[in-house]
Structure 1
Amino acid sequence: MHPGLRQFVKPDDLEWSFGDDFSVQKVGLGDQLTKRTTPRYREFQDALLARFGQTLPRFGAIWCFLYPNIMIEWYPDIIVVSTIYPKGAGACVNHVEFYYPEALYKDMPDYFTAEKAAYMETAVEDEEACLLLEKGRRALYLSGEEEHGPIEPFLEAGVAHFYDWLAKQ
């Protein structure tokens, strides 16, 4: 899952922070940004290298999840805010907003276009994964089974934290 994103960030360079109603995941920037990747991430990584040169940012992404439905994402020079609005038991809308520094956007619009295309590639993959998970959870529910895993303890620690928060509500 996420071949482009997995190349862009460094999953083994991961830091977690937790609060009562949030989690923060900081992921290091990949160290092989010139290596083969998906076409959309290739464009973004090339733009990132052109933008920062040898002085690359420490992190490739910082994801902050404010429970129950807001995600604030940081990528170099970019903030993305996603808000999930439920539309019933089996549907929701994910409203996504992109924020860029105005002066930098005027100077380097291609950088931001490349980032948004890479982001949308990952968003489509996320939607596919969510639909498969929902299908599996529905099948378990209809068969009378209750199953919450598997959750990878380190990479998905925020999922377990969210479920713990949800159980307390």
Structure 2
Amino acid sequence: MTTPSFTITRVFEASRERVWAAWTDPERLAAWFGPKETKGTVLEHDLRPGGVWRGRMDAPDGSAMFSKFVFEQVDPPSRLVWIHGFADEHGARVRAPFAPLFPLELRTTVTFAEVDGGTRITLEWVPLDASSEEQAFFLGMMESMTGGWTGSFDQLDAYLAQSS
């Protein structure tokens, strides 16, 4: 099986520098990143190749999920690449709490391109070292991932509009 990938693109009516800052400044990132109706907290943020980002998302039902990203590339203001996955509260890699067949790690690539009137973001997720069963599960999650990232991008849009 060819390794599947998930890609989503969105144009934001803000300069590339403002959109980059919303993705790379911990305070700004916490204001919008994550599923709708969750509250995000940045626990660790070391924006450099080899650096770690850890976050916590608190859901309205009181549950919490933790994530950990390890940066591979940081090319301001055009590209971020990191290894993406869920974690426990101490930062140890764990399976996705909502789906044990979701790949343990994904390579995330986010590009920031200037376009007329704003910035186009393209985000790609590619499973790493995933079994054929995990890859099939990932393929089956495309609609859900589109919905999740669309919600996050809606929040980013609102954040950029209010912080202009």
Question: What TM-score do you get using the length of structure 2 for normalisation?
Answer: 0.46
Larger relative helix fraction: 1
Larger Rg: 1
